[in-house]
Amino acid sequence: MRIELVSAALLLPALLFAQERVTVKGRIVNEQGVAVEYVQVGLPGRQIGTISTADGRFEIEVPCDTLEFFHVSYQPACYPVTGPADNLVVVLQEQELPPAVFIGGNAKEKYLVRPGKNVLKNMGVVSTALRSEHPQGRELGSIARAKRPFLVKDILLSVRSNHIPGCVASVNIYRIEGKEESFVNVLHKPIYFDVAVSDDPQHFDIQPEETLLLEPGRYFIAFQIVGYDAPAMQAFLAKPEEEKRFWEMTMNFNVFLKSSYLRETALGEMKHYPVNIGVAVKGLEF
């Protein structure tokens, strides 16, 4: 019994140290040395993550663990964190593009998913707010089910109001696989678009650049904020708490009555969410 107590005492400092976080700063580039924008950086499943800036720079506080880097156009990369790093350079290798897809046969125009029922006649809202120094990464959206091969032509969504200056958003599409619901990215080219500051609704019709053919199965179409005006964020964070207003650095969506998923941080865990933000997808079913 005494030996067990001593062993536990020896392990305690190591366990405590493992939870301590260190700061890792760096830049993400491709094999030609060009900065890679909006890379998801984090510890999968640990709810610790961020997104790199438009010039590939990132900063994150993490425990000593394996830091992972994800971008739809590049192969995933990892970095074992053993201590602080101030000038880390991460080089991503380009993802091989899939072979050209020949699509033939009869096709009909169809919605793969519609928004669902709007709750409380536009009175209910889902908000996503930037309230910390490195806030990007939250993903929320809608679930779609393809019964037959489906060619995505348009992704439709509406933002009810936006108070995040310089906002750049993305759409990601994941295939949901297995009983344990693993989420596998299906894009090979990123989908980015700007969201202006406005109290009025904004409607977006996004047409993917790549030929996006979804095989039968379940999919998660996710909205994510990847960029914002950094000086505006710094000015907001510098305000005394009593001067901050709840609508600042916040984007709002109408609430729709169909369950979905929510990921709180980049590369974090997907969790079931009781409502969605009304994403619609239309295209051709074969």
Indicate the pTM of the whole model. 0.88
pLDDT confidence of residue 123: 62
For the residues 155-166, what does the mean pLDDT come to? 96
For the residues 45-62, what does the mean pLDDT come to? 93
Query: What fold does the segment set 2-92 form as a domain?
Result: Immunoglobulin-like (2.60.40)
Residue 214 and residue 95 in contact, taking contact as beta carbons nearer than 8 Å: no
The domain limits of the chain are 2-92, 108-285
pLDDT reading at 13 higher than 70:
no
pLDDT confidence of residue 136: 74
φ, ψ for residue 7 (rounded to 5)? -60, -45
pLDDT reading at 195 higher than 60:
yes
Q: Which amino acid appears at position 245 of this protein?
A: R
pLDDT confidence of residue 100: 67
Residue 140 and residue 273 in contact, taking contact as beta carbons nearer than 8 Å: yes
Query: Which range (115-124, 139-148, 215-224, 275-284) has the least confidence?
Result: 115-124
Tens digits of per-residue pLDDT, 85-94? 999 999 999 9
pLDDT reading at 120 higher than 80:
no
pLDDT reading at 6 higher than 70:
no
Report the C-alpha gap between 197 and 166 in whole angstroms.
Answer: 8
Question: Which residue is it, tokens 């996004």?
Answer: 206
E strand or H helix at 139: strand 139-146
11: left (phi over 0), alpha (psi -120 to 50) or beta: alpha
3-state secondary structure of 241: helix
Beta strands across the sheet bearing 161-162: 125-129, 250-254, 161-162
Tens digits of per-residue pLDDT, 263-280? 999 999 999 999 999 999
pLDDT confidence of residue 122: 63
* Dihedral of the alpha carbons of 66, 49, 170, 256, in degrees to the nearest 10: 120
Query: What fold does the segment set 108-285 form as a domain?
Result: Jelly Rolls (2.60.120)
pLDDT confidence of residue 131: 79
pLDDT confidence of residue 8: 37
Query: Which range (134-138, 182-186, 197-201, 232-236) has the least confidence?
Result: 134-138
**Mean model confidence pLDDT for the chain:** 89
Distances (CA, A) of 87 to 24, 74, 80, 227: 8, 21, 15, 21
Report the C-alpha gap between 198 and 159 in whole angstroms.
Answer: 10
For the beta carbon of residue 68, count every other beta carbon within 10 angstroms: 17
